A and B are shown apart, each in its own frame.
Chain A
Amino acid sequence: MIDLLLDVGTWILLIFGGVLLLITGFGLLRLPDLYSRIHAGGMADTLATFLIFTGLALQSGFTLVTVKLVLVIVFVFFTSPTSSYALAHASFVAGLKPDLKSYRDRDEEDE
């Protein structure tokens, strides 16, 4: 019974993680601006990694492999958003301004 629960849980987590990664890839291709692409890549990527690794950890039970997976999750939690921040900051310092024109039109319409 426990095995079945673990398998179902792993399946759900892996599928969600995979769908999130697909959405990330789609967003990376289709979003208009560098900053929105960084947003897509950084956030969804981290959550997808967390879900997939938790699914794998469920499969491994209480062994050393699970501890290593948890350590990798913590590492990715720290580094992936930081690298997104560093990328966005570097682009801003280098002079790339975010594309605000499309949003400004909507605000002017409301007024």
Chain B
Amino acid sequence: MLLLVAGTMTVLIVRNLFVATMLLGIVSFTMALIFVSLDAVDVAFTEAAVGAGISTVLYIGTLAMVGAQEKEKKTIAIGPLIICLAVGATLFYATYEMPAYGRATNPVQTHVAPRYIQDSPTEIGVPNMVTSVLASYRGYDTFGETTVIFTAGIGVMLILRQRRRRKQEEDEEEEEELRSSTSGSLTGLGSDHDLVPHVVAKLLIPFILVFALYVQFHGDYGPGGGFQAGVIFAAGFILYALVFGIDFARAVLDGKLVLFLMAAGVLLYGGVGIASMILGGAFLDYNLLADDAVHGQHLGILLIELGVGITVTAAMLSIFYAFVGRADIDIEQGD
């Protein structure tokens, strides 16, 4: 915990943003360790994959465009500071009214948790109870999370893709140049000196993608599920783009396909809900999806985890493409 607080304080103090990015990675890893010590392995997995993996890559991609030094701020804004302190103090005071952490007589321990623990094996039949809570008992919340990721991807594309249309005309002329030389968009991205990363990446990327599929479908039995699998899948593609150049990555999964996948994941999730409504039940009621209620639950959980995984992969990839494509334009315009 001390390491966590120290790391976070240091992120606020340092001026060089690369150092801040590395510290954020360390903070994420420490948080993941704390989660593991609290026996929350799924959350730790997601935190390590997203916070220490993908976030660091995306931050560094941004810094390559923006520059590494934080601007000096001499004045302290009094108004927002007072509002932040007031709201923080109110929240802190409110925690005193909550029951003590981890006490056995808390309402969450006596009503909610035992019902999930007792009924999940018979109603849903999936060994990993976190997945059964996430995907079935709290399926609406997970739908909201997937839509949030989708919105984040859309938001990034809205902000960063505006230059795409102007670049279209230059694009066709330069496409031949870009494909003949093996230099990529960012300086050093995919240069052809790097034999060692090329070979090792070629060896490892298939295994990374297979591991992502394993995490996706093993989420019912062990830690895993759609979010972690999506992040690992996107990390495999981002590694490919970093080592070989973004044009090759675009040849495999170009911008339009990534957009389509982003929407397709959310559509799959919502489609499962609509299908269960058509079959006569409530939204996202999996019991009706197959002849047997438990099989219906399994099928429903499988489909929505797939939807989550597809959306997370596509969102991460589209954010990466948007950042790196933008850097491409800046460098060509003589930045």
A is bound by B: yes
B200 at the interface (CB under 8 A from A): yes
B197 near A: Cβ within 8 Å? yes
Check: A82 CB closer than 8 A to any chain B CB: yes
Task: For residue A109, give the distance in angstroms from its CB to the closest CB of chain B.
Answer: 36
Please state if B193 and A89 are interface contacts (CB–CB under 8 Å): yes
Residue-wise interface mask of A (84-101) relative to B, using a CB-CB cutoff of 8 A (1 in contact, 0 not): 011001100110000000
Q: In chain B between 179 and 212, which residues have their CB closer than 8 angstroms to a CB of chain A?
A: 188, 191, 193-194, 196-197, 200, 203-204, 207
Given contacts A75-B204, A78-B203, A79-B204, contact A85 B197 (CB under 8 A): yes
Closest to B201 in A: A82
Complex alpha-carbon distance, A94 and B188, angstroms: 9
B204 proximity list for chain A (CB < 8 A): 75, 78-79
B200 touches A82 (CB 8 A): yes
- Categorize the interface residue count of chain B: 10 to 19
Alpha-carbon separation in the docked complex, A79 to B236 (Å): 13
> In whole angstroms, how far apart are the Cα atoms of A94 and B194 in the complex?
14
A78 to B239, CA, bound (A): 14
Contact-size category for A: 10 to 19
Q: Return chain A residues, CB-CB under 8 Å to B191.
A: 93
Q: Is the CB of A85 within 8 A of B188?
A: no
Structural contact, A82 and B188, CB atoms closer than 8 A: no
**Quick one: which of A31-50 are within 8 Å of B by CB?**
none
Q: Using a Cβ cutoff of 8 Å, how many contacts connect chains A and B? A: 22
The answer to whether B203 touches A86 (Cβ under 8 A) is no
B197: chain A residues at CB < 8 Å are 82, 85-86
Beta-carbon contact of B188 and A90 below 8 Å: yes
Question: Per DSSP, are chain B's interface residues mostly helix, strand or loop, or mixed?
Answer: helix
- The complex places the Cα of A78 from the Cα of B200 at a distance, in Å, of 7
- Asked if residues B196 and A85 are in contact (CB atoms below 8 Å), the reply is yes
Roughly how many angstroms separate A86 CA and B189 CA in the complex, as a whole number?
11
B60 CB to closest chain A CB (Å) equals 12
- Chain A residues whose CB sits within 8 angstroms of the CB of B203 once the complex forms: 78
* Identity of the chain B residue whose Cβ is nearest the Cβ of A90 in the assembled complex: B188
Chain A 19-69 interface residues, beta-carbon cutoff 8 Å to B? none
Shortest CB distance A77–B (Å): 10
| Set of chain B residues within 8 Å of A86, measured between Cβ atoms | 194, 196-197
Task: Report the nearest B residue to A92, measured CB to CB.
Answer: B193
Q: A residues within 8 A CB of B207? A: 75
Q: Are A89 and B200 in contact (CB under 8 A)?
A: no
Give the CA-CA distance A34 to B197 in the complex, in Å.
20
B196 CB contacts on chain A under 8 angstroms: 82, 85-86
Option from A75, A78, A79, A89 in Cβ contact (under 8 Å) with B194: A89
Show 20 A/B contacts (Cβ-Cβ < 8 Å), sorted by A: A75-B204, A75-B207, A78-B200, A78-B203, A78-B204, A79-B200, A79-B204, A82-B196, A82-B197, A82-B200, A85-B196, A85-B197, A86-B196, A86-B197, A89-B193, A89-B194, A90-B188, A93-B191, A93-B193, A94-B188
Residue numbers of B with Cβ under 8 A of A are 188, 191, 193-194, 196-197, 200, 203-204, 207
Given A78-B204, A82-B197, A86-B197, 12 other A-B contacts at CB below 8 A? A75-B204, A75-B207, A78-B200, A79-B204, A82-B196, A82-B200, A86-B194, A86-B196, A89-B193, A89-B194, A93-B188, A93-B191
